[in-house]
Chain A
């Protein structure tokens, strides 16, 4: 069992068209590193040159925005759902 990562449409070209992939890691940072190993090229789209999540990328662990948790150090475990979602403007 692993963590399910939901991939936004623009990045699905890097995951052979899959909207969900399985990855492993104990934190969001480790998970993204594993995602990059399995699907090379994806991390530079999600993270800036310093390896930090881009300003307009929101990551949710089990429906909660990681900025309300421990950011990219938020813990993840087998069976969790992680979503990568572009910031959605509202109003």
Chain B
């Protein structure tokens, strides 16, 4: 049975409040009940999820544009807005990934101003999960845990494995047993206890809730989720900062559990509250795979209830059929004036190839979903062609090679002679021989 509320394993009830902490506590997103900043992840009363509440007046005093200039280029430059009490201890080199104007892709899509926020090269595990894990493990250490765990569709498995190795924490990783080999290898190399469960991600997640109730571990995306999820805000802060503290008009975001959408929305709200940005909030767009689109479907139907689905898609990192943040993601998207759509497996692969061929970025299937949906929304007129658009690329293609294996053609194989080179390449040769 899911243990909804557990306390810290080595809590220090009489510890002096830390002057570096800007966290006031935790608060239920549904009924507003307040909880101490411990290991609480759902409201004891109404089962709503709880979220970190900050002292924004205190944050305003130390978090300024001038102070940011001297800070390291990592996600921890936004430390006041992250839920830790002392100094960061995990993921000191994660975050602050490339953000760039994508003119060749823009031309292919027929739009004027297009940007890529590229977490496919996140350090160290090549996905945006390095952000949430850096925050979760720093907080887990503060809360006295010596063991961390997660339920994952792959990227989180890689990131928890790597960061926990460097932090010297014991690590248990649970995934569906049908993951791509790249994601399995990129977890095993860090020597976690990797458990491959014969079931869907949703079944893995439910199992982990039961395990988490029995073992005193920090399950990053379950019992310390309120802290973990805040790490995703840094993706939004970076978009704003790297755009010169401007707000893009449209952001297309992939969705699995739906948390990233809600946290990007929160990031822009916080930056506006703190006076870092001015103007209209960005419109947010949800991208899912057709084979697992519970949130996109809810948005398109403007419904209140997210109906769970049984996933069937090559975009395994987005294959969450019962997204717990789906309701909030739907509200964030519709509230921003955005929209949603889903992409077929073929459209996902075509989009992966398009991104690589135009911008030199090899994204995983989830990135293919995001770009394929962006393309669709542009074609539908939902995304205006003359306004600024950011496409969120959150993972690396080296991890999900299987769906591409028979879709990219073969290398041209030749003998080590000039004659073989010219006879085999023939009409592929351009420019003619040098004079």
Q: Is A51 an interface residue (CB 8 A)?
A: no
Interface residues of B in 305-328 (CB under 8 A from A): 305, 307-308, 310, 320, 322-325, 327
B48 & A56 in contact (Cβ 8 Å cutoff): yes
Q: Verify A56–B320 contact, CB threshold 8 A.
A: no
Interface residues in A, total, Cβ within 8 A: 23
A36 to chain B, nearest CB (A): 16
CB of A54 within 8 A of CB of B46, answer yes
Contacts of B153 in A (CB 8 A): 91
Interface size class of B (residues with CB under 8 A): 35 or more
C-alpha spacing A89/B258, complex, angstroms: 9
The answer to the question of A45 belonging to the interface, with a C-beta cut-off of 8 Å to chain B, is: yes
Report how far A87 CA is from B4 CA in the complex, Å. 10
Q: Which chain A residues border B48 with CB–CB below 8 Å?
A: 55-56
Among A2-10, A24-32, A72-80, the stretch in contact with B? A2-10
Q: Is the CB of A89 within 8 A of B325?
A: yes
Contact B1 A7 (CB under 8 A): yes
Contact present for A90 and B5 (CB under 8 Å): no
* With A9-B2, A9-B3: A90-B205 Cβ-Cβ less than 8 Å: yes
The answer to whether B225 has its CB under 8 Å from any CB of chain A is: yes
Contact (Cβ within 8 A) B2 A90: no
Question: Cβ of A90 and Cβ of B47 under 8 Å apart?
Answer: no
Shortest Cβ gap from B227 to chain A (Å): 12
Contact between chains at A67 and B308 (CB < 8 Å): yes
Task: Answer whether residue B44 sits at the interface, using C-beta atoms and an 8 A cutoff.
Answer: yes
The closest CB in chain B to the CB of A12 belongs to B1
> Are A86 and B307 in contact, CB atoms less than 8 angstroms apart?
no
Query: What's the least CB distance linking A50 to chain B, in Å?
Result: 13
**In the complex, which of the residues A54, A57, A68, A88 contacts B205, with contact meaning CB atoms closer than 8 Å?**
A88
Q: Is A40's CB within 8 Å of the partner chain B?
A: no
Q: Given A56-B48, A56-B49, A86-B47, do A91 and B320 touch, yes or no (CB 8 Å)? A: yes
Given contacts A85-B2, A85-B206, A88-B2, 11 further A-B contacts (CB under 8 A): A6-B1, A10-B4, A10-B5, A10-B44, A10-B45, A19-B1, A65-B308, A85-B209, A89-B225, A90-B323, A91-B156
Q: List 17 A-B contacts (CB under 8 A).
A: A8-B3, A9-B1, A9-B3, A10-B4, A19-B1, A45-B45, A54-B47, A68-B308, A83-B1, A86-B2, A87-B322, A89-B221, A90-B202, A90-B221, A91-B156, A91-B259, A91-B320
